[in-house]
Structure 1
Amino acid sequence: MKIAVYGATGMVGSQIVAEAARRGHEVTAISRKGAPVEGAAVVRSADLADLDAYREVAAASDAVVLATSPDRTGGPREPYIEAHRAVAGVPTQARIYMVGGFGGLRTPDGTQIKDTSGFPPEYKGESDAAWAAYEALRDSGLDVTGQAPAAVIAPGERTGRYTTAVGVPAAGDSISSQDYAVALLDELEEPRFRGTFFTAAN
C-alpha cells in the first residue's frame, strides 16, 4: 500500500511512518521542513495548505494520513481548519485518515467531551479546531476515517494490544503513540471503522 503521512515528524506521525514501513508499505513522509523520518521511502516538504502538492500526493497514494495539529502556541487555529476544508474539496480515490482528538468523543448523554464542564480549558480551543477540521472532511463525501486517541497519548511501548469504540471512549485511559499507530495500520489493512470517528486505548 502507498501511504502518505502529513505531520510525519510529530510524535504520532513518526510512529505511523515507522509502523507502516515495518509492515512493508511504501511511505511518503511529509512535513513543513521535509526532515528525514525513519522508515520513509520518500521525504517531502509541504504544508497541508499547499493544494497543488496535496493533489499530487493524493493521486499517488492509496491512503493519506493527516497527522497535523492545531496551533498550540497561542496563534490562530483558523488556518488549520481552512486547510482541512480545502483538502475536503479535492476529489480523490485515496482513503483519507485523520488523527483526531479525544475531545471529539461523546459521553453517554451524547455531549462531546470537549464541551463538558470538566474538560481542561487550556485544550478547548485545540479540540474545537480539530473537530471542525474533522467535520469538514466527514461531510465531503470522500472516504474518511477519524481516529481519536485515549485521554492520554504519549510515547511508550508497542504492545499490539488495544481496545476500540466508535464515537465514545474505549476502555482504557491512555495509549502509547506506538499502539495508536498499530491501531491505525490495522484499520488501513483490514477496515472495520471506515467512515466513522473511532478511538483506541490500551
Structure 2
Amino acid sequence: MKIVLFGASGNIGRPATEELLRRGHTVTAVTRAGHLDGLRHQALTVTAGDVTDAAAVAGLAASHDAVLSAVGPRIGRENDRATIVGAARALIDGLRRADVTRLVTIGGAGSLRTPTGARVMDDPHFPALWKANAEAQAEALDLYRGTTGLEWTYVSPAAHIGPGERRGAYRTGGDTLLTDDAGASEISYADYAIALADTIESGTAIRRRITVAY
C-alpha cells in the first residue's frame, strides 16, 4: 500500500513509519521540519507538511491508498485543541478533496470508559497536564463519528504508553479501557505501532474507535 503518515517524527509516528516499511509498504512520512533523522529506506519519502491545513493534506494524500495520522501536540508547550481538533477537521476535509477514504488516526485514552461507565479523564486523579489534550481528543472523536464517506478508525492506546519492548502482541477492545489482571493498562510505542499497521492492513474497525493494550 501507499500510505501517508502525518507526525512521522514523533514517539508514535517514528515506530509506525518503521513498522510500515518493515511490512513492505511505501510511506510518505510528513513532519514539520521535513526530515526524519537517521531513517533511510528506498520506499520512504520524507516531506514537510501541515496536517491542520486541508489543502496541504489533500495535496499530500492524493494518489495514496490510506492515511495514518500520528499527530499530537507537545504537552504543555502547544495548544492541544488547535493541533488535535485542527488536524481532525483538516483530515476530514482534505481526504475528501483527495478522494482518499481510508484513515487511521491515533487517539487518546482519556475518553475511554471505566467499568463504572465514567470517562478515564473524569477521574479526580487524572493528570491536570493531560486534561486539555484528553478533551481535545474526545472532541476529535466526535467529529469523526459525525462524518460520512470516510472509512476512519480511531485507535486509543492504553492508559500508559511509552518506551518498551516490542512484544508483537496486544489485545483489542472498544470504548472501555483495557486492563490486565493486576489492573494495569499499558502498551509500548512499538506495539502500538504494530496495532496501527494491523488496523490499516486489515481494513477492519471501520467508522469506530478501538483501543489496544497488553
Same fold (TM over 0.5): yes
Distance 2:92 2:56 in 1: 14
- Over 4 Å off, 4+ runs: none
**Equivalent in the alignment of 2:124:** 117
Which of 102, 107, 124 is the matching residue for 2:109?
Answer: 102
1:150 aligns with 2:158: yes
Preserved contact between residue 164 and residue 171 of structure 1 (Cα < 8 Å): no
Q: Does the alignment pair 1:131 with 2:144?
A: no
For residues 75 and 57 of structure 1, do their structure 2 counterparts lie closer, same or farther at Cα, with a shift above 3 Å needed? closer
> What is the CA deviation profile of residues 49-91 of structure 1, one whole-angstrom value per residue up to 9, with x for unaligned ones?
2222210222222111111113523443332223322332331
* Alpha carbons of structure 1 residues 75 and 19: separation in structure 2 relative to 1, 3 Å: closer
SS at match of 2:8: coil
Choose 109-118 or 26-35, whichever is displaced more.
Answer: 109-118
CA contact (8 A) 1:70 1:130 kept: no
The corresponding residue for 1:198 is 210
Deviations 1:117-141 (A, max 9, x none): 2322221111111221222233221
- The CA distance in 2 between the partners of 1:124 and 1:78, in whole Å, is 11
1:79 is matched with which residue: 82, 86, 90?
Answer: 82
Are 2:170 and 1:162 aligned? yes
Match in the other structure for 2:26: 26
Amino acid aligned to 2:204:
R
Quote how far apart the aligned CAs of 1:193 are.
1.9
| 8 Å CA contact retained: 2:75, 2:129 | no
Q: Which moved more, 1:189-198 or 1:16-25?
A: 189-198
Q: Equivalent pairs: percent with the same residue?
A: 36
Aligned CA distance change for structure 1 residues 75 and 179 (closer, same or farther; 3 Å) = closer
* Residue correspondences, number: 202
Tell me the equivalent position of 1:46.
Answer: 49
Q: Provide structure 1 residue ranges, at least 5 long, that are not aligned to the other structure.
A: none
Equivalent pair of 2:66/2:103 in contact (CA under 8 Å): yes
Match of 2:73 in 1: 70
In the alignment, the residues of structure 2 paired with residue 74 and residue 188 of structure 1 have an alpha-carbon distance, to the nearest angstrom, of 30
- Which range moved further: 185-194 or 155-164? 185-194
C-alpha distance in 1, partners of 2:175/2:212? 11
Taking the aligned partners of 1:182 and 1:139, their CA distance within structure 2 comes to 27
- Taking structure 1 as the reference length, the TM-score comes to 0.92
Report how far residue 148 of structure 1 moved.
0.9
Does 1:89 find its partner at 2:93? yes
Letter of the structure 2 residue corresponding to residue 157 of structure 1: E
Structure 2 unaligned residues grouped into runs of 5+? none
In 1: Cα distance, 2:199 partner to 2:78 partner? 33
SS of 1:4's equivalent in the other structure is strand
